[in-house]
Chain A
Amino acid sequence: MVFTRTNDASEPTKAGRGSRISSPLPGQVALILFLLVLWELASYYLYNPFWGSRPSLIAQRLWQLAISGDLWMHTSTTLQEAGAGLLFAAVVGVPIGIGLARAPRLARLLDPVIMGLYGLPRVALAPLFILWFGIGLFSKIMMSFTMVLFIFILNVMEGIRTIDKDQLDLMTSMRAGRFYVVWTVLLPAIVPWILASFRIGVGLALIGAVVGELIGSNRGLGWYVESSGGQLDTTGVFSGLIVLMVLAMLANYLIGFMERKIVRWR
């Protein structure tokens, strides 16, 4: 599923000089291989692979899907849906978050509505969205969007709330203009929160897209999982799930990498 990691990169060394701690990657790869071997063995001795498939079958299936081009077709569909939903949520959510943080009265007024919508199990909206927006890409984009939107709004609000009041007072005491304060204090302060929203949002966006596909579509990884399940094809189900898992992991790494590049001052 989704892997969110809290990055507490406490590097005591001065920027650019110190040596890095040895990479955890070899250990991680070894662990995953070990789990796959366990799974493979279990499918021979503990259960019938009809119910739980096995890694070798899944690998074969992925290979076939890759050759036929279906793998890319499904993957790119789901990626487009989740990616567009995620970006759209950022574009809409960040300004809303900033606006609400700067208008505390309005934020207090809207608080029950926002928290209500946030608490709503939004996956349950999928049938409605299919009805409203059709079975094409758009309904899935909207699903991803609603899944992630509140992450951006709430994170950005929190980011602005945690800005040190002394920093703002200092700017005021030096007669800084509005634009200067936004540019030097407000935006830099919320960048880490926006990136964190992306990190958390990737998984949710994928969930949104997949749930949309489960309910109504004719392609995408969610659709592939659903249709495999309908044919009692557990290997197909696991193949789809594993691709989704890898996507979430890769996206997570990519964003973690960007965080380290952009937020160097942490």
Chain B
Amino acid sequence: MAVMTTEKRAVSAPAKAGSEPAGRVRAELRDLQISFRLPDMSTLDVISGISMTVSEGEFVAVVGPSGSGKSTILRALCGLLKPSGGHVAVDGVPVSSPPPGVGFMFQKDALLPWRTVAGNIRVGAELGGMPAEEHEERIGRLVKLLRLDGFENAWPNQLSGGMRQRVSLGRLLAYQPSLMLMDEPFGALDYQTKIAMGKELLSVWEAERRAIIFVTHDIEEAVALADRVVVFSARPARIVADYKVDLPRPRHMRAMRSDPAFTMLTEAIWADLALPS
């Protein structure tokens, strides 16, 4: 594995236009170790020593090879999985059970087949503690935002994969988490919808300043959306690089693609992942 090992963290990066300087630490991983006991009693080291922090209002993308442990890290952050070593904290509190305000959008949509589109989004509203009389209005707005108009009463098995993913995103947004863990949320979307959803996510994020950890396989998507891109190595995962994305916001997909900074960054990540060019 000829991966680059230098950490390229731009420590003293200037604050970007329109965003606060790095604030309170929301999520912290320190020297995280995770291994699984396999059925044949051998152990599989998935994460071996990862440290990173995510601050208030920060949008962090995580890229890395398949099976490197990206989903596993998100599970550890929301208390679904106990690490074998190291330290996981959200808002300074060590995570032992799911912390409040943390929303997880799974790689699989995990919709409830017996609830309609609106019903599935309502799960988020119900569990997010939103007053019941605001549910309808909120769900209506999310349905529109996610372009699911006309499908409010459809059952999940009547939806396409991309639509299901949008419903899952709707449920996450209805939960109103202040830290969003998103596991390849746009993986099943076509290019146009992906761009559109990315824009919507950014507008939600810019308006409400939530912290986001966004796992993706799409390098351009990571650079286009995030403040930082963290690159994982193959299993056992280490952090290969941690890039600050200094592209101005609001971001315009079209214009950005011809920005040399954008191209350079995607090229660099490309090289980190040791992808053939």
Contacts and interface: CB of A to CB of B under 8 A. Distances in A.
Contact of B155 (A171, A175, A265): A265
Q: Range of interface residues on chain A?
A: 20 to 34
Nearest to B74: A173
B78 to A, nearest CB: 5
B118 to A, nearest CB: 13
Given A166-B108, A173-B98, A180-B127, A15 B153 contact: yes
B157 A265 contact: yes
B52 to A, nearest CB: 20
Q: Is the interface of A mostly helix, strand, loop or mixed?
A: helix
A170 B157 contact: no
B127 A175 contact: yes
Contacts of A170: 104, 106, 110
Interface string B132-148: 00000000000000000
Nearest to A174: B127
A174 B106 CA distance: 12
Contacts of B103: 173-174
Contacts of B154: 14-15
B112 A175 contact: no
Query: Do most interface residues of chain B lie in helix, strand or loop, or is the interface mixed?
Result: loop
B106 A175 contact: no
B57 interface: no
Nearest to B99: A175
B155 A173 contact: no
B189 interface: no
A184 B112 CA distance: 8
User: Which 3 A/B pairs are nearest by Cβ-Cβ distance?
Assistant: A166-B110, A188-B114, A174-B127
Interface of A: 14-15, 164, 166-167, 169-176, 180, 184-185, 188-189, 191, 263-266
22 contacts: A14-B154, A15-B153, A15-B154, A166-B106, A166-B108, A167-B110, A169-B110, A170-B110, A172-B79, A173-B98, A173-B102, A173-B103, A174-B103, A174-B104, A174-B123, A175-B98, A175-B100, A188-B112, A191-B114, A264-B155, A265-B116, A265-B156
Given A15-B158, A174-B123, 10 more contacts: A166-B106, A169-B75, A169-B106, A172-B79, A172-B80, A174-B127, A175-B100, A176-B127, A188-B112, A191-B114
